[in-house]
A and B are shown apart, each in its own frame.
Chain A
């Protein structure tokens, strides 16, 4: 169960090599090393240092002006749990490359540091100059789903009025992200259920990709009211099981008594058993 040191197709890399490669001259080795350090969660302070430096890289550019090395460095830093990355990632939220901003928002969510709230809100409101939309989807100005999810996970209740309008966004994934965030920020269980049920309804939709997205969101928030619908939706059992795992663990973490399996937890496990 321990993470190995080898790449997925057997490329053997050591931590020292990866740290050296990321500062080297071969661009493809640099991008791979950044991914590798995140994949194997190399939280060595030196690894964090070189990844933070890579967030400011100017050498590696795509034809559309993107920064592949910065993207991978931003994604990796979210997995290493080092708070020193918070400020550099906040700076990355102002990068012109859509995917760097997306990765930075996701990593800031993972690091769980709410000091980035103000910048996230600025980005959500379109107040940061110089940001470019995603090349493939020109009408999407900002990585709204990543921003909304971060605001929800970080508990930024001030953002609620700004998040609500995204419930009617034209892109379903963005709507789901808004519902997910509002679920997490809700002040009562009843209010939360109202937003959770938007995601439950999405499990009934016609598009498999969107059902998969809704499953992931429901697992992430651990909404117990969705358990039956998760088990019934038309999607791979593996994805349903991961979503139900999220619901189960949320139930267990919430229950005050250590020994008792709550009725909800038992119900979720019965559903999981039936999907094995």
Chain B
């Protein structure tokens, strides 16, 4: 958009001129809803206004614009304002473009702010790995896993909670020929289930175990529908069957296979 139409300019001016907390929220919301690519810098700036309503609207707007804003976001991440940084990492996490990988890894390992770390932990699990060249997927997922696992010991409950969310997504994303990775996630979750001091975290672990277990069950095409809580044993069966398969990109045949399984079981 080199030549924004007058209404885009009006929307931008409204944000710049907003003189109350509420008028700022409204102006950012309008600008976000208009999905103007050239306004992405201003939306990123709005993450640092210390106005949660405006920040939520700006994140929504950035996520709606999607991959095109990732380079600007990565460039403009605010090193001094942790509130703004948390919102920016949230936006990157929700967009899920793997160009954010290094930023998310670095953030998760080093940021002092728990709101930034929790956003990064969730984001690391949610990247759209298939956008990477096939040879880069494995090393990228390996780094994500290695960085997430130690965060299960973070001192803040919310970071541990977000790490469980990240590990759950990663467990589902990593290819079935990596039983060692799956086992690491499985073992760490079991350990948290037994020892984490926060009831909320233990509950989220239980939920993650159920979701992963169900996903694996679907992949395994088992005909009996009872879900065993021990997904490690299910996994082992899956690996034996799928050892020769390679992970595939979008339109994944594994999903296709589970659809077929559902269809055939309903017609039986």
Contacts and interface: CB of A to CB of B under 8 A. Distances in A.
A213 B184 CA distance: 41
A211 to B, nearest CB: 9
A249 B161 contact: no
Chain A contact residues (Cβ within 8 angstroms of B): what range? 20 to 34
A245 interface: yes
A111 to B, nearest CB: 21
Given A1-B155, A249-B199, A276-B122, A237 B207 contact: no
A208 B21 contact: yes
A238 interface: yes
B232 to A, nearest CB: 18
Q: Dominant SS at the B interface?
A: helix
A252 B21 contact: no
A206 B21 CA distance: 10
Contacts of B203: 248-249, 252, 261, 265, 269
Contacts of A206: 22
A243 B118 CA distance: 16
A250 to B, nearest CB: 10
Interface residues of B, number: 30
A237 B158 CA distance: 11
B254 interface: no
B184 to A, nearest CB: 22
B119 interface: yes
Given A235-B52, A248-B203, A273 B22 contact: no
Given A276-B119, A276-B165, A266 B207 contact: yes
B206 A234 contact: no
B7 to A, nearest CB: 26
A159 interface: no
Interface in A211-261: 234-238, 241, 245, 248-249, 252-253, 259, 261
A251 to B, nearest CB: 9
Contacts of B165: 273, 276
Contacts of A249: 199-200, 203
A179 to B, nearest CB: 24
B21 A238 contact: no
B247 interface: no
B47 interface: no
B128 interface: no
A85 interface: no
Nearest to B153: A1
Nearest to B25: A234
A262 B206 CA distance: 12
B204 A237 contact: no
A230 to B, nearest CB: 13
Contacts of A245: 157, 200
Most buried by A among B121, B197, B210: B210
A272 interface: yes
Interface string B126-166: 00000000000000000000000000000101100110010
Interface in B214-238: 229
Interface in B39-54: 52-53
A273 B121 CA distance: 11
Nearest to B122: A276
Interface string B16-53: 00000110010000000000000000000000000011
B126 to A, nearest CB: 10
Interface in A36-63: none
Contact of B158 (A1, A234, A238): A238
Contact of A1 (B21, B93, B197): B197
B56 interface: yes
Contact of A272 (B161, B199, B210): B161
B161 A234 contact: no
A276 B200 contact: no
A213 to B, nearest CB: 15
A234 B118 contact: no
A166 B199 CA distance: 34
| 6 tightest A-B CB contacts, nearest first | A234-B53, A276-B122, A245-B200, A276-B162, A249-B199, A276-B118
29 contacts: A1-B155, A1-B197, A208-B21, A208-B52, A234-B25, A236-B52, A237-B86, A237-B90, A237-B115, A241-B158, A245-B157, A248-B200, A248-B203, A249-B199, A249-B203, A252-B199, A252-B203, A253-B199, A261-B203, A261-B206, A265-B203, A266-B207, A269-B203, A269-B204, A272-B204, A273-B165, A276-B118, A276-B121, A276-B162
Given A208-B21, A276-B161, 5 more contacts: A252-B203, A259-B229, A261-B203, A261-B206, A272-B161
Interface of B: 21-22, 25, 52-53, 56, 86, 90, 93, 114-115, 118-119, 121-122, 155, 157-158, 161-162, 165, 197, 199-200, 203-204, 206-207, 210, 229
Interface of A: 1, 206, 208, 234-238, 241, 245, 248-249, 252-253, 259, 261, 265-266, 269, 272-273, 276
